[in-house]
Amino acid sequence: MTTMTERLLVVDDEATVRELLAATLRFAGFRVTSAATAGEAIAAATADPPDLVLLDVMLPDMDGFEVIRRLREHRTPVLFLTARDRQADKVTGLSLGADDYVTKPFDLEELIARIRAVLRRTAGHPGDVLTVGTLALDVEGHQVTRHGRPVRVSATEFRLLRHLMENAGRVVTKAQILERVWRYDFGGDASIVDTYISYLRRKIDVEEPKLIHTVHGVGYVMREPRP
């Protein structure tokens, strides 16, 4: 059951949409604030970061893609909720680090389910530290180290790395990664997974032993090399 500790920021320039969403989400048990412009959203999310931002792409002062870029340093979870339904827009939004991408018109019950799924994935648990060999990931602190040295990763890279480490020793398919990390089916185009795996390898597999391994025709597995 959702608790009143979960705070959402709804960002949409259409007053009717904001009011409908706010009323529905409050009824579902969330605390809700709203913003009509990108400037208002950035100011609100920076001053008091919410647990999740529901963000429209088309805003009067700047688009939602620029907003998520500016919020990236605060690691605020973002769910795009927009009429922009082109494949390219979805890929752009998710590649920038959005946790989900929902297009209008939308089903309110499905939206609430997706919001709760994002909150579960991004909540973390105090003291959770995942380790594989010399690689460590602090879930709550959102920090990654290799051989004790910090590794800078983006929000999307962090989610991908966490998924791989939670399934260490187990092969995960590209379809599974898309579902768990991006929460969106790219219509069979899994190239974004390969791209982000490449990003991670450049950051954590720059020295031996290599931890991310390709299982050709299937997916990827994180493990230390077998003797």
In this structure, are 177 and 107 located in the same domain?
A: no
Which structural domain, as residue segments, surrounds residue 88? 7-123
* CATH code of the domain covering residue 164: 1.10.10.10
188 domain-assigned: yes
104 domain-assigned: yes
In this structure, are 167 and 95 located in the same domain?
A: no
Per-residue pLDDT of the chain (227 residues; tens, 9 = 90+): 333 468 999 999 999 999 999 999 998 889 999 999 999 999 999 888 899 999 999 999 999 999 988 887 667 889 999 888 888 888 888 878 888 888 888 888 888 888 888 887 776 544 578 888 889 998 877 889 998 899 999 888 998 999 999 888 889 888 888 877 876 544 556 788 999 999 999 999 988 889 999 999 889 999 886 65
178 domain-assigned: yes
Q: Which two tokens stand for residue 2?
A: 């959702």
In this structure, are 116 and 12 located in the same domain?
A: yes
What is the spatial distance between Cα 204 and Cα 201, in angstroms, rounded to a whole number?
Answer: 5
**Residue 223, amino acid:** R
In this structure, are 95 and 172 located in the same domain?
A: no
